[in-house]
Structure 1
Amino acid sequence: MVVDLEMGEGSPKLFERKQAVYRTLDDRYEIHGEKYKGQQYSHIYFTRLHYMRNLLYSLISKWKPHVPVNTVLGLEEGKECIIVGTIYKHMKLKPSILDEYSKERSKVPLVKPHNFVHPDDHLILEDESGRVKLAGSLLDPSAFVTGIVVALHGHETSEGDFFVQDLLEAGLPPQIERPLSSGEDRYVVFVSGLNIGSNTFNPLQFQLLVDHITGYLGDETEQSIASQIVRLIIAGNSVQIQQGLLNGQTVAPRDQSTLTEPIKELDILLNQLAAAMPVDMMPGPNDPANFSLPQQPLNKCLFPGASAYNTFFSCTNPHQFELDDIQFLGTSGQNVHDLFKYSEANNKLEFMERTLRWRHLVPTAPNTLGCYPFTDRDPFLIESCPHVYFAGNQDKYETTLVPGPEKQLVRLICIPKFCETGIAVMLNLRNLECHALGFSTCLDA
């Protein structure tokens, strides 16, 4: 695609927009004609355990080859062994439907904490044969969540617990070698949390972003940089619709415009973007899409203007793709937000790094985060290590590089909510360096 970027004053100069070879890998997250027929969520846990156990068995032979591997049912008191299973975290503060019912009936509202971690939480490991409570100081319950598959070295105590002496996680998956740099800069821009229709949305602020990355702002140097942007990723929560209107009742005519206006405004902005560059549109928890993961692509009928361009792509959440053989993997932030509720870390980047080491994008699904009840696969398993891993709708912009033991190198990016921060993120495909793009309409900013 060739897009001419106009110069401002003086003689006009045209820039040809650079391109990158794009390949979507969203097939694993798409639900093709599958229907819910009463299947239980145990299937997805069995699939996860089977895959991860085979993987961990291959690592145990190098980790501790002389220690026997056992099942939970086959534990014997005092005998050291290795067991592989799924962690279940017993949480004192974990919400339940009975608590919600009591809250509705109580005159005094219950305090709802932002994080449900408690000092009395403890871990349990289970496999097909049974479950056993984990003991010892090696494992800090606050750093783990339900749904992780690990290998543990230890022995059964006289109380019937399993005393953990060592832990083996799957670690970062294999990564394809990053292609050699062509020497020229090419950029991918990430933005999330537009929240069009909310009280915090500033249309001028987002229009500044649109004009900047499409090349209608700035001098010749800035327009030259804009021509090097090969793709825009919109990572969820693009609109905000008043929940009070979505009560299952027929919407009154006077309220119909309230529902549709944010989507129409978004389509106008997407129209400008898709006319200039390829755009990937991911759904988020506030968008008009299915709530449970993986979220399916937003219907293109919602965006008649943008859908007229073959540069507009409605994608799944999670979203996985390649640009010139550089692998990207990202979500609209639900997986990180749920880990924040049920575990603790120094920052959101640490949560993201843990999911890579656990080789599972959404370990808390389906326990505390809704997902489709797959029966024959777990699409959230991370089988190939991405070069870029992003999460949308975070409180602030953060980024780091995570190295792996087999020369893996992953760029982690927390994309902030644009409506609150006015910040988008720009990534250079040449060297995986990234920086923030800030936009403000305040004169004193």
Structure 2
Amino acid sequence: MEAMEIDSEKALQRKQSAYNSLDEKFEIEKETYRGQQYSQIYFNRLHMMRTLLYSLLRNWKPHFPVCTVLELEEGKECIVVGTLYKHMKLKSSILDEYSKERSATPLVKPHNFMHPDDRLILEDESGRVKLGGSVLSASVYVTGVVVALHGKAGAGDFSVEDVLEAGLPPQIERSLKSQEDKYVVFVSGLRIGSSISNPLQFQLLVDHITGHLGDEKEQGIAAQIVQVVIAGNSVEIPRGFLNGQNLASQDQSRLSEPIKELDILLTQIAAGLPIEIMPGSDDPANFSLPQQPLNRYLFPGSSAYNTFRSCTNPHCFELDNIRFLGTSGQNIDDLEKYSKAKDKLEFMERTLKWRHLAPTAPNTLGCYPFTDMDPFLIEICPHVYFVGNQDKYDTRLLTGSEGQMVRLICIPKFCETGIAVVLNTRNLECHALSFGTQFIS
């Protein structure tokens, strides 16, 4: 009997990429809430953005004087830089929560809090002024955006004639040395443990990534996957148990079951290639942004591999000198509640042009009360900007005035759509990867 020969030429070698984490500014080392005020974030944001906008005024409208709100004079044409505040008629307050308790009729919570009577106000350290004119649309802007406004002060308001946003930040040139295809897989909203989660669907994705699914061509493509990013909401823990009472051992196991199941699946990926997991709004992590990495002790199997990384949300990293920036979706979902756009990609585009990842924090989006900085300012333009837990897959290539190119990606909820997103780092092209488990009779 002849010994079986192994064809070594057909053995596939997984490609690798140079990785650099840029999450340091999102990491909170000594968390404390004693004596800290949220106003500090706005002061720091205004200081940083005003310095930037002043540098842009030379090429915008250098002939007009720059004033503070307190220096505005009636009839005088000038430029003023400040933070926008949107007065909203339908914005929820703590009094609404109180009225729900006292009222017999439940109050309907609207999906969007926009109203025709909403109006914008500009604020700096010296004061605030109402904004007039039709140039600045209240439906586009939200509280927390810093802009430069050209206009004329009137009786009690400032009539806006033109607006200057910061625009896309400068971008580090993308390295074009490597002409080989390398892929990054994005997935979010796994919701393992929920009633709509399909374990087989995620197992198919795992098998595809690890090269255990498909023919030689498919396995060849799988070998070119250099990283997997899981963008939030990976597990769903039954909320009924989280009432502050001691749990029976049976209930404790039900709580930990989804995390154990997730760890088993992540371990299969981590054994073959780098994988990163970001926390989401429903994961066992802190609620306010920036969310800190999920505790590695939750993943005893995956964390045994040095390819497993637990990351912050927002998350920023470089892969072969390509800069990635992304969130688990809270920043864009919150923008949708307080402003309008034709799609989620337009909301993403606005955050880049405002140079701020989460302009509605801390007004309507929970965040940590930083005293010495605003970590959500976008100083360097990413090449890839992704947002997780969206209703559908969508993507667009955004081009800036200085040649910046940004791939915008909306990652859909995997548990509802069965779709992951694959990005080619060579040319920033991306496509959806769909997994179905229905049998056709």
TM-score interval, normalised by the smaller of the two chains: over 0.9
Q: Structure 1: how far apart are the matches of 2:86 and 2:240?
A: 35
Corresponding residue of 1:147? 144
Corresponding residue of 2:317? 321
TM-score (ref. length: structure 1): 0.96
Given candidates 152, 159, 162, the residue that maps to 1:163 is: 159
Q: Structure 2: how far apart are the matches of 1:138 and 1:444?
A: 55
Corresponding residue of 1:290? 286
Task: State the Cα distance separating 1:145 from its structure 2 match.
Answer: 0.4
What does residue range 176-191 of structure 1 map to in structure 2 within 5 Å? 176-191=172-187
Which amino acid is 1:258 matched to? R
Q: Structure 1: how far apart are the matches of 2:25 and 2:214?
A: 41
Say if 1:181 and 1:431, in contact at 8 Å, map to a contact too. Answer: no
Q: Structure 1: how far apart are the matches of 2:90 and 2:34?
A: 32
Say if 1:264 and 1:303, in contact at 8 Å, map to a contact too. Answer: yes
Answering whether residue 428 of structure 2 is matched by residue 438 of structure 1, we say no
SS in 1 for 2:337: helix
SS in 2 for 1:59: helix
Given candidates 99, 111, 114, the residue that maps to 1:102 is: 99
Task: State the Cα distance separating 1:298 from its structure 2 match.
Answer: 0.5
Which amino acid is 1:279 matched to? I
Which amino acid is 1:64 matched to? K
Q: Structure 2: how far apart are the matches of 1:444 and 1:101?
A: 52
Corresponding residue of 1:261? 257
Q: Structure 2: how far apart are the matches of 1:109 and 1:181?
A: 61
Corresponding residue of 2:86? 89
Corresponding residue of 2:196? 200
Corresponding residue of 1:302? 298
Query: Which segments of 5 or more consecutive residues in structure 1 lack a partner in the other structure?
Result: 1-9
Task: State the Cα distance separating 1:249 from its structure 2 match.
Answer: 1.8
Q: Structure 1: how far apart are the matches of 2:245 and 2:71?
A: 56
Answering whether residue 77 of structure 2 is matched by residue 69 of structure 1, we say no
Task: State the Cα distance separating 1:276 from its structure 2 match.
Answer: 1.1
Corresponding residue of 1:402? 398
What does residue range 243-282 of structure 1 map to in structure 2 within 5 Å? 243-282=239-278
Answering whether residue 129 of structure 2 is matched by residue 132 of structure 1, we say yes
Corresponding residue of 1:241? 237
Corresponding residue of 1:6? none
Q: Structure 1: how far apart are the matches of 2:244 and 2:46?
A: 39
Percent identity reads 74
Task: State the Cα distance separating 1:251 from its structure 2 match.
Answer: 1.8
Q: Structure 1: how far apart are the matches of 2:56 and 2:396?
A: 27
Q: Structure 1: how far apart are the matches of 2:368 and 2:290?
A: 7
Which amino acid is 1:125 matched to? L
TM-score (ref. length: structure 2): 0.97
SS in 2 for 1:341: helix
Compare 21-30 and 245-254 and name the one that shifted more: 245-254
Note the alpha carbon deviations across 1:113-149, whole angstroms, 9 max, x for none: 1000011100000000000010011111010100000
Corresponding residue of 1:53? 50
SS in 2 for 1:195: coil
Answering whether residue 228 of structure 2 is matched by residue 232 of structure 1, we say yes
Compare 31-40 and 43-52 and name the one that shifted more: 31-40
Corresponding residue of 2:111? 114
SS in 1 for 2:171: coil
SS in 2 for 1:73: helix
Q: Structure 2: how far apart are the matches of 1:43 and 1:255?
A: 43
Q: Structure 1: how far apart are the matches of 2:440 and 2:164?
A: 52
Corresponding residue of 1:40? 37
Aligned residues: 435
SS in 1 for 2:69: coil
Q: Structure 2: how far apart are the matches of 1:18 and 1:241?
A: 36
Task: State the Cα distance separating 1:252 from its structure 2 match.
Answer: 2.3
Q: Structure 1: how far apart are the matches of 2:300 and 2:440?
A: 38
Q: Structure 1: how far apart are the matches of 2:381 and 2:440?
A: 43
Q: Structure 2: how far apart are the matches of 1:17 and 1:254?
A: 42
Which amino acid is 2:35 matched to? G
Q: Structure 1: how far apart are the matches of 2:335 and 2:399?
A: 22
Would you identify which runs of 4 or more consecutive aligned residues in structure 1 move more than 2 Å? 10-13
Note the alpha carbon deviations across 1:46-95, whole angstroms, 9 max, x for none: 00000000000000111000000001011100110000000000000000
SS in 2 for 1:84: strand
Q: Structure 2: how far apart are the matches of 1:276 and 1:214?
A: 6
Q: Structure 2: how far apart are the matches of 1:347 and 1:302?
A: 36
Q: Structure 1: how far apart are the matches of 2:255 and 2:385?
A: 33
Corresponding residue of 1:424? 420
Which amino acid is 1:180 matched to? L
Say if 1:181 and 1:430, in contact at 8 Å, map to a contact too. Answer: no
Corresponding residue of 2:352? 356
Task: State the Cα distance separating 1:245 from its structure 2 match.
Answer: 1.0
Given candidates 328, 334, 342, the residue that maps to 2:330 is: 334
Corresponding residue of 1:28? 25
Corresponding residue of 1:221? 217
Query: Which segments of 5 or more consecutive residues in structure 2 lack a partner in the other structure?
Result: 1-5
SS in 2 for 1:337: helix
Q: Structure 2: how far apart are the matches of 1:99 and 1:33?
A: 34
Note the alpha carbon deviations across 1:164-199, whole angstroms, 9 max, x for none: 000000000000011115221000000000000101
Q: Structure 2: how far apart are the matches of 1:51 and 1:280?
A: 31
Which amino acid is 1:285 matched to? S
Say if 1:72 and 1:129, in contact at 8 Å, map to a contact too. Answer: yes
Which amino acid is 2:91 matched to? K
Q: Structure 2: how far apart are the matches of 1:243 and 1:90?
A: 34
SS in 1 for 2:70: coil
Note the alpha carbon deviations across 1:237-287, whole angstroms, 9 max, x for none: 000111121122222222111110000000000110100110011000111
Task: State the Cα distance separating 1:11 from its structure 2 match.
Answer: 6.7
